[in-house]
Amino acid sequence: MHWTDKLHAILMGVSDLTNRIDIDARLLAASNVKLDRALLPLLSRLALHEQMSTVELANLVGRDHSTVSRQLAKLEDLALIERVPSSGDRRVRMICPSAKGKALLGAVAKVRRQWIEAHFRDWPREDIDQLISLTGKMMEGLDEVSLGGIEMIETRSA
Amino acid sequence: MHWTDKLHAILMGVSDLTNRIDIDARLLAASNVKLDRALLPLLSRLALHEQMSTVELANLVGRDHSTVSRQLAKLEDLALIERVPSSGDRRVRMICPSAKGKALLGAVAKVRRQWIEAHFRDWPREDIDQLISLTGKMMEGLDEVSLGGIEMIETRSA
DNA sequence: GGTATATATGTGCATAATGCACGGATATGA
DNA sequence: TCATATCCGTGCATTATGCACATATATACC
């Protein structure tokens, strides 16, 4: 098995794991938080970026902006996010978690931290550091809106 | 930022990346393959497991078995999978990619290999090995059907 | 300035995806 | 044998999603 295939298999596993709705469900339950399962991933991403526009977030999660727009409306109804007019561009309303949203995320993060720590209990500290360092390096430039380097192969023909 | 939060952020990034439908779309286009975008992830997972039952696959991808059942029906119509009666249990039909399905996956894998190799072009070989080793270790026991170790915190209360 | 084009956002609408409930078949255990 | 559990597929209602469109604003070009 080629190393790229091995890596891809692992990444798929990671993806499946973080997408398992039952995990989010358990996380929310354990945090005593009630929230539509589709909204937590969105809120979690927002927390990592300080401020984002609707389109940026849509690109990040790979869905149509209209879909994200509707989900954001729900989050706003729940007062979990705030929308700030962008200083430079009056078309965009930047989005960020509200105090309430941050509190919710904090409660969830607390439980998740326990889970992750339990999972890595037997790991040497340097392995954990290496893991974070290398995966972080791998994601550099890829977690942004565009796909960067991957564009080097032309696929527009289709 | 706590290391667990950092790790979680990275994993979310990985998840987003592997879930970006545009990536699958580009992959299929660059491979000259035409396939419903929902079906490639399923087929890819099947390829990693030799044989799986419908329910197992459903658990793996975190969706209802009925949903997966319908998607598998599509894959079968396209002759991309085969169903073999399980020797031990006559209720289950084990699923695996057909020759045609494997050929398709092979074409896709070839392009993906190029992409991944390009992305890691500047990496020292030992870093790549370390990355695969550590992420593989991280996923041990988690890529299976049940969640294993994560269960250690009781969440059934909800 | 004025005009054409591009981008950000939200909404209507049709379609696709999803989960739940159910039924039939088989397996497991009392 | 009987009761219970599991595997699978289908009917059905609900939800999610994308596309097309409209509006407001920005950017580029003349």
Cβ of A12 and B48 within 8 Å? yes
Report residue B41 as tokens.
């992830």
Query: What is the 8-class DSSP label of residue A52?
Result: B
B27 lies in some domain: yes
Expressed as residue numbers, the domain containing B62 is: 3-147
Give me the DSSP letters along A73-133. Answer: HHHHHTT-EEEEE-SS-TT-EEEEE-HHHHHHHHHHHHHHHHHHHHHTTTS-HHHHHHHHH
Closest CA to A138 of B130, B88, B38: B130
Nearest nucleotide to the CA of A64, by C1', is D18
Q: Count residue pairs from A and B with Cβ separation < 8 A.
A: 184
pLDDT in tens, B5-38: 999 999 999 998 988 878 888 888 888 888 888 8
B96 lies in some domain: yes
pLDDT in tens, A60-100: 999 999 999 999 999 999 999 999 999 899 999 999 999 99
Cα separation, A13 vs A33, in Å, equals: 27
Cβ of A135 and B136 within 8 Å? no
Nearest nucleotide to the CA of A52, by C1', is C8
Q: Mean per-residue pLDDT for A41-57?
A: 94
Cα separation, B89 vs B93, in Å, equals: 9
Minimum distance, in Å, between the CA of residue B131 and any CA atom of chain A: 6
B85 lies in some domain: yes
A94 lies in some domain: yes
Other Cβ atoms less than 10 A from the Cβ of A133: the count is 15
Q: Are residues A17 and B61 in contact, defined by beta-carbon separation less than 8 angstroms?
A: no
pLDDT in tens, B97-119: 999 999 999 999 999 999 999 99
Report residue B64 as tokens.
């209802």
Q: Which of B61, B128, B134 sits opposite A131 (nearest CB)?
A: B134
Q: Which nucleotides of D are covered by protein (CB under 7 A)?
A: 6-11, 16-20, 24-27
Minimum distance, in Å, between the CA of residue A60 and any CA atom of chain B: 7
Minimum distance, in Å, between the CA of residue B102 and any CA atom of chain A: 14
The β-bridge partners of B95 are: B52, B83
> A112: which chain B residues are within 8 Å (Cβ-Cβ)?
4, 8
Q: Which of A12-26, B56-70, B101-115 has the lowest mean pLDDT?
A: A12-26
- State the CATH number of the domain containing residue A58: 1.10.10.10
Q: Is the CB of A145 under 7 A from strand C?
A: no
Cα separation, B157 vs A26, in Å, equals: 10
* A122-127 LR contacts (CB < 8 Å, sep 24+): A127/B134, A127/B137
Q: Which of A29, A62, A134 sits opposite B134 (nearest CB)?
A: A134
pLDDT in tens, B77-101: 999 999 999 989 999 999 999 999 9
Cα separation, B139 vs B135, in Å, equals: 6
Q: Mean per-residue pLDDT for B27-50?
A: 90
B155 lies in some domain: no
Cα separation, A50 vs A45, in Å, equals: 9
**High-pLDDT (> 70) share of chain A, %:** 90
B83 lies in some domain: yes
Number of structural domains in chain A: 1
The mean predicted confidence, pLDDT, of chain B is 87
Closest CA to B145 of B8, B49, B4, B41: B49
Residue with tokens 């192969």: A153
Please tell me which residue, A153 or A55, carries the higher pLDDT value: A55
Give residue A54's pLDDT band: very low, low, confident or very high (50, 70, 90): very high
Q: Is the CB of B71 under 7 A from strand C?
A: yes
Strands A93-97 and B93-97: unpaired
B152 lies in some domain: no
**High-pLDDT (> 90) share of chain A, %:** 70
Give CA angle at B61 (A47, B57), nearest 5°: 170
Q: Is the CB of A70 under 7 A from strand C?
A: yes
Q: Mean per-residue pLDDT for A8-18?
A: 92
Give me the DSSP letters along B32-52. Answer: T----TTHHHHHHHHHTSS-B
With a CB cutoff of 8 Å and minimum separation 6, the contacts of A30 are: A111, B153, B155, B158
Separation of A68 CA and D15 C1' (Å): 14
Q: Which of A19, A118, A127 sits opposite B15 (nearest CB)?
A: A19
